[in-house]
Each structure stands twice: as structure tokens, then as C-alpha cells.
Amino acid sequence: MGKRTAFDKYLAQLEKAAKVLDLDPRIYARLQVQARLVRGTVRIEMDDGSFKEFPVYRCQHNHARGPTQGGTRFDLAVCESEIKFLAAMMTMKNAIDDIMHGGGKGGIRVDKFALSMGERERLCRGYIRTIAPWIGPRVDGPAPDVGTGAQEMAWFLDEYERIIGGEHCFAAFTGKPVVLGGSLGRSDATALGAVYATEAMMNKLGLKGQQTVAIQGFGNAGDFYAKLMKDRGHTIISVSDRSGTISDPSGFDLYDLHNFCHDESGKKIRKVTEYPRWDRSIDPLRVALSADIFAPAAFEDLIDAHMARELQSKFIVELANGPCTEEADEILAGRGIPVIPDIYASGGGVRVSAAEKIQGLENQKWPANRVHTWLKDQMFKAFDDLKKTKERYQLRSLREAAMVFAVGAVAEAMAWRGGFEYKYGETIDVPTVTVYKDLSSKGPKLVHRKSA
């Protein structure tokens, strides 16, 4: 048997939810495939005059609850299975938040750090030329993900507006720079959403006052989460990054730690293990595993069976996508350690993306506190929905409840729509798009958008 792909993991979770919900087989079959996958190759002229090719994808998993929406990953591990998996999970994330969006995801197999700014811009423009006929605010909206950010979204927007004939279309992309219609409150949205999820769980467990917190991964999500939790009076006793774990049972001075690890622009310049002010007489991992709250904010499968057996935390809040192995998940459920699942806990960015899209459609700018209130209301409401779903179906974990709730919401929309014989399983292969160094003289031709 071949290695289980990321998409296989989604199918396993879907199967469990389908059984609990006694799902109509036609709906179940449609949720097992994407609505549409666009594949192609972008060929760019490199700065030295040579040409390089990059495989590109954009997947729209399900449109029943509205236009698909989701990030764009630039990474060497990008493949069709991963993009289909991430798009499917976006369908579920949006459904949990009761956002009227389906799930989408895109990606390019590339080491973006090996490209110059000019090469990166050409790749972004080529990507949009490949997928333009199948995106737009009412069809599918790309956003940032691993390896992309505001700069990529700005190039996407600019290219898209050129292709559609100069019409402004801020709502076509989210995660844009604030001066180009990006939303205030976006940079720390994932972490803030996870903080609200943490508070909702503390309420449920009757936990009051200061808690100790360990954070696995001190990147974008983990660093903001640490700061926000510290601002709320909690004690950060352990952080880790790729170099290892450091701990201090009396709590870190986070501002000092952040400033040590980052330069003035916020770029990470030092490993956490180089930080001189931590207690080297203790076992840092043991301290981390004893924290009241354990927050994985690094990558997949870092909480394995061994760690799941050793953890002493009151609960886990998953900022990272898929941080627990399937085995670890079983062990934690068996030990009664609650896990706030990734598809809910790490959804702050998705929620603020939806707010950005509304601002784009209305040509408005919301103040940051309106964005935060919107996010907070949704996080607490969604937690309540998951709790009720867990009780109603007598499920073992909030992860199962999240999937059952989301699949139920999407299935209900599909049932009302009917039309099961079409709209699913489409794959579109686009001929190679070439982008030359002189962008202006080789601009795109107008494309006529096909209906979704």
C-alpha cells in the first residue's frame, strides 16, 4: 500500500462524519472530490535570460455555501494532493465559521527564496494568467498561505485587473497590503482567533486566572499568540523553534525574547536556543509538557504518540495545521486531554479574510476594533456550536465535532441546491503560460471569464 496522502487524511475524517450524519450517498460522493481543479505550468524568464518552469494549481473544493476562498502556497512540497486536501479543509473551516464561502486553495511548487523579486513577480503574474478565467469575487478568491504575503497579493490584484480590462476588483483577493484594500487587524488574526478559542475553552473547563503556556513554533502564529497571551496576564514558560526548546518555569520576558530573535523589521535573525536568559538547569521539554496550555504553532505531526503520553496540559490549542498524528489524537482523547482542533482554532485569518472581502465589495475600510469584535463574536459562537455538536452526537473529541458540524452545514446547502449530476470533479489543464522579463510589452490578452 502506498503512503497515505494528505487528501487520504481528509477522506478518513469525512468518512467518520458521514457515518455520524448518515449522509446521503450522493452528497458524500461529491464531498470526496473537488468541484474544480485548474492545473498548469508557468514558465518564466529568469534574470539571466534562461527559462524555468513551475507547476501551478488552484483547487475549488465545494461551492454549495458560496464562492470558494483560500490561500496560495509557494513551497517545494506543493503537489496536487496537498492542494486538494487544503481546499477541502477550507470548505470545512468556512462552514464552521458560518461564513458564506466554500473552500479553495492554490499553490506553486517553488523555492521562492531562490528567486529574485523580479522573478517572483513574473511567477505571480503567470499564475494569475493561468487561473484568471476561473477566479473572481463571486467565484473563487485566492489569499496568502505559506510562502506568500501582501506583496504577492498586490501583484495578483494588479495582474487580474489588467486581465479583466482595468475594472478595479479589490474583493478578488484577500491578505492584500492595507493601502490596496487589505483589512486592518489581519496580521495577528490567526493568533487572536486562537486566543479567543483558548478563552472559550477556559470558560468551558472553569479555569480562571493566570495559566502557564508552552508554544511549539516561534514563527508568525506562535510569536503573536505568545505576545497576546502574555498581554492577558498568562505566563509563557516555554517556546521552541526548529533549533529546539527553551523553558523558564518563572516565565519569559517576551519582549526581550522577541527583540533578541528579530530585527527591527520583524525578520527572524536568531534561533530561540541562542537566547542567553533561560534556565539551563532544567529539562526544557519536560517543562513544556507540564504547561497548563500547550499551543502547537509549527508544522504537521510534531505531536506524536510519545509526546501525547507525556503531556500534562489541561488542554491543547492547535494554531498549526494538523500538529497531532492520528495516533497522538487517539491517545489524547483516551487520556481526556481536550484538543481545540486546527480547523476551528487556527481560523482567525480565514475570518478576517471574509471581513476583508466584504470591505472590498463595499469599497469600505473597517476600523481594527470592528474587525476584532467580528472575529471574537464568531470564535465564541463557533465554539458553542462545536460543544453542542459534541454533546448531541456523543462524540469523543471537538475535532470530530468540528468535522460533523462542518460536513452537516455543507451537506444541508447541497441538499437544498440539488443538481448532483453536475458541478463536481472537473479538472482543467491550462496550456503553459510564459512570462518574459519585459512585462509591459508582453502583457496578457483579455480573457473572457467562463461562468462558474
What is the C-alpha to C-alpha distance for residues 415 and 325, in angstroms, rounded to an integer? Answer: 33
* CB of 301 or CB of 391, closer to ligand NAD: 301
For helices 150-163 and 117-131, the axis angle rounded to 10 degrees is 50
Instruction: Check residue 142 for interaction with ligand NAD (CB under 6 A).
Output: no
> CB under 8 Å to 131, separation ≥6 — which residues?
38, 40, 56, 58, 106, 142, 430
Radius of gyration of the chain (CA): 22
Q: What is the DSSP letter of 324?
A: B
Q: Where are the alpha helices (DSSP H) in 180-283?
A: 189-205, 220-231, 254-261
What is the C-alpha to C-alpha distance for residues 230 and 217, in angstroms, rounded to an integer? Answer: 16
Binding mask 303-342 for ligand NAD (x = CB under 6 A): ----------------xxx---------------------
Binding mask 101-140 for ligand NAD (x = CB under 6 A): ----------------------------------------
Instruction: Check residue 60 for interaction with ligand NAD (CB under 6 A).
Output: no
Instruction: Check residue 240 for interaction with ligand NAD (CB under 6 A).
Output: yes
Tell me the residue number closest to ligand NAD, measured at CB. 219
Contacts of ligand NAD in 278-297 (CB under 6 A)? 297
* CB of 129 or CB of 230, closer to ligand NAD: 230
* CB of 5 or CB of 434, closer to ligand NAD: 5
* CB of 67 or CB of 347, closer to ligand NAD: 347
Number of residues that bind ligand NAD (CB under 6 A): 20
Contacts of ligand NAD in 14-53 (CB under 6 A)? none
What is the C-alpha to C-alpha distance for residues 97 and 381, in angstroms, rounded to an integer? Answer: 8
CB of 348: closest distance to ligand NAD in angstroms? 7
Residue 441 annotated in ligand binding: no
Binding mask 427-446 for ligand NAD (x = CB under 6 A): --------------------
Residue 313 annotated in ligand binding: no
Q: What is the DSSP letter of 432?
A: P
Contacts of ligand NAD in 176-195 (CB under 6 A)? 190
The count of other CB atoms within 10 Å of the CB of residue 333 is 18
> CB under 8 Å to 311, separation ≥6 — which residues?
289, 294, 303, 332, 337
| Residue among 382, 308, 313 at smallest CA distance from 343 | 382
> What cell does 423 get?
458541478
Stated as kind and residue range, the H or E segment containing 122 is: helix 117-131
Q: Which amino acid is at 221?
A: A
Binding mask 195-234 for ligand NAD (x = CB under 6 A): ---------------------xxxxxxx------------
Query: Interface with ligand NAD by CB under 6 A: which residues?
Result: 190, 216-222, 240-242, 297-299, 302, 319-321, 346, 349
